[in-house]
Structure formats: C-alpha cells, structure tokens
Amino acid sequence: MEISPRKMSGKEAQLMFQQILSFPLQGVCKVLRRIGGQWLDYSKSGLYKQVDGDKYICMDNISNKTPCLVYSFGIKDDWTFEDEMDSIGCTVHAYDHTIDAPSIRGHRITFHKLGLGTETNMDTLDNIIRDNGHTETSIQFLKVWLYLKLL
C-alpha cells in the first residue's frame, strides 16, 4: 500500500493513523511487561474503572548487565512509565515542552523542556539524539505521545 500524505485530507490521515495503531506489529517476546499508567474512575459507583497510559513492552533485552536507554516524549502529568523504567535501571530522557519539572528526577531521569517538532521549544529527534551524544548508542525504548493538530 502506498501512502501519500500530500493527497490525504486531515481526516483521512487521522483515520489511517488510528488504524495503524489499532493493529500493531506482532512479534515474539518471552517477557512482556505492563509499564506505567493510572487507574481512572469514570463513575460515581466505582464500577467503571480502567487504566490509562499503560504501555506493554518487551523486557527480553533488559538486564542489569547492559545499559538501558529510554527516550520519552510527552509527560503531561503522568510520570508512571518513566519512574518505573528508572526503577528497573534504565537511563531516561523525558521531554515535554508544555510542563515545568525539575531537571533531575529519581535516580536516572533527566527532564528536558523540549518537544518533537519544528515550532517554538521543539527540535527534531535527530538533533536531540546528537545533542545528547547518543548517535552511536542503542535506544531500547522510544515513547512518543502524539498530538495531532488538524488544519
């Protein structure tokens, strides 16, 4: 299937994006772990609870013997993923241009008030990786919270 974003309307692009996310690539993972997220209660009775913001990640290549590097874009008010990755020994670079936070959090989390993009307080992923000195380093996990602004 050929994808030509220049020929799509904003609604068509959004629908395709949602369809792609709904059917992620399948792979073999021996140790799948649910990381982060918050329990939300949308009812007065407490019967309708769900977790929001959790991520399922493959832990097969994570060990105390090898360095683990995480880049996380989009924090808002939920640090659960970053805090848990820090607790298992990963170095985390957390980015969000919309919030204020201390530059150091936990044992190995560094916060950057910067986002992905071309607007104010944003930069490209390539530039960010280069500026951090990670061009020759494997990034184990890249978390990106997307905000789509339709024209």
Q: Establish if 66 belongs to a structural domain.
A: yes
Q: Is residue 21 part of a domain?
A: no
Residue 20 domain-assigned (yes or no): no
Written as one letter, the residue type at 113 is: K
Q: Which two tokens stand for residue 128?
A: 């960010």
User: Contact 96/121 with Cβ under 8 angstroms?
Assistant: no
Tokens read off for 17? 């994006």
pLDDT tens digits for 32-70? Answer: 888 887 777 666 666 656 666 778 888 887 766 678 999
Q: What is the pLDDT of residues 121-132, one digit of tens each?
A: 999 999 999 999
* pLDDT range class, residue 29, cuts 50, 70, 90: confident
Asked, for residue 123, whether it belongs to a domain, the answer is yes
The domain in which residue 69 lies consists of 27-144
Q: How many domains does the chain have?
A: 1
* pLDDT tier at 151, thresholds 50, 70, 90: low
pTM higher than 0.95, yes or no? Answer: no
Would residue 124 count as lying in a domain?
yes
Could you tell me where the DSSP H helices lie in the chain?
A: 10-22, 80-87, 125-131
DSSP E strands in 6-84: the ranges are 32-35, 38-41, 49-52, 55-58, 69-73
Looking at every residue in the chain, the average pLDDT score rounds to 82
For residue 10, being part of any structural domain is answered with no
**Does residue 93 have a pLDDT over 90?**
yes
Residue 31 maps to a domain: yes
